[in-house]
Amino acid sequence: MNSLIIPCSSCNAKNRIPAAKQHLSPKCGKCGTLLNVKINAVPVELTDSDFQPFVSGAQLPVMVDFYSPTCGPCKAITPLITSLSKEYLGKVIITKIDTSSNPGTAMHYKIRGVPSLLFFKNGQVVDQVVGAPPEQQLRQKLDSL
Ligand SMILES: [Zn+2]
């Protein structure tokens, strides 16, 4: 799973925060100041091995972007997915999984094409979109979670 480096606004210490914990109001390891996660937040990168425990154990709704690094439409929505991970921090956990290196999860959810977006609540799929959705439609789905 990926992590991010967040500089402390108070003591400038660089804090390494696992992306999976970025919504839990992390504090600076050196001085205890609350870190400004929002501007640094990124999608959580999941793999076949951590997907199920992560999604079923999540305390918030989860959106998963099934993508492939060689797919044009996937690349086209990457900036939107990244900005939504900042905007919905603390409301919906935005994640992504590379289907080319993690075929097991894609097979389990019968993903036929990328990008595909799946929306989970309490570990269950409650909604999905195949293909790159218009931003407005994606926001509506996230808001309805
Ligand atoms: Zn600090």
Output the pLDDT for position 42.
96
- How far apart are the CA of 11 and the centre of ligand 1, in A? 4
Instruction: Tell which residue, 47, 3, 45, 46, has the closest CA to residue 26.
Output: 3
- Annotation says 31 is catalytic: no
CA distance 46 to 108: 14
33 CB burial (10 A radius; 0-12, 13-18, 19+): middle
Output the pLDDT for position 27.
97
Tokens representing 33 are 């100041």
- How far apart are the CA of 2 and the centre of ligand 1, in A? 22
What is the architecture, at CATH level 2, of domain 44-144?
Answer: 3-Layer(aba) Sandwich (3.40)
Domain chopping of the chain, boundaries: 1-40, 44-144
Output the pLDDT for position 1.
84
Q: Which CATH superfamily is domain 1-40 in?
A: Zn-finger domain of Sec23/24 (2.30.30.380)
pTM: 0.94
Catalytic residue of the set 8, 11, 31, 71? 71
- How far apart are the CA of 33 and the centre of ligand 1, in A? 5
Residues 6+ apart with CB under 8 A from 99: 66, 67, 68, 105, 106, 111, 114
Give pLDDT tens digits for 90-144: 999 999 999 999 999 999 999 999 999 999 999 999 999 999 999 999 999 999 9
- How far apart are the CA of 27 and the centre of ligand 1, in A? 8
Output the pLDDT for position 59.
94
CA distance 44 to 22: 9
For the residues 23-34, what does the mean pLDDT come to? Answer: 97
Give pLDDT tens digits for 56-91: 999 999 999 999 999 999 999 999 999 999 999 999
The residues whose Cβ lies within 5 A of ligand 1, an ion, are 8, 10-11, 13, 28, 30-31, 33
Output the pLDDT for position 32.
98
- How far apart are the CA of 37 and the centre of ligand 1, in A? 13
Q: Is the pLDDT of residue 34 over 90?
A: yes
Output the pLDDT for position 21.
95
- Annotation says 74 is catalytic: yes
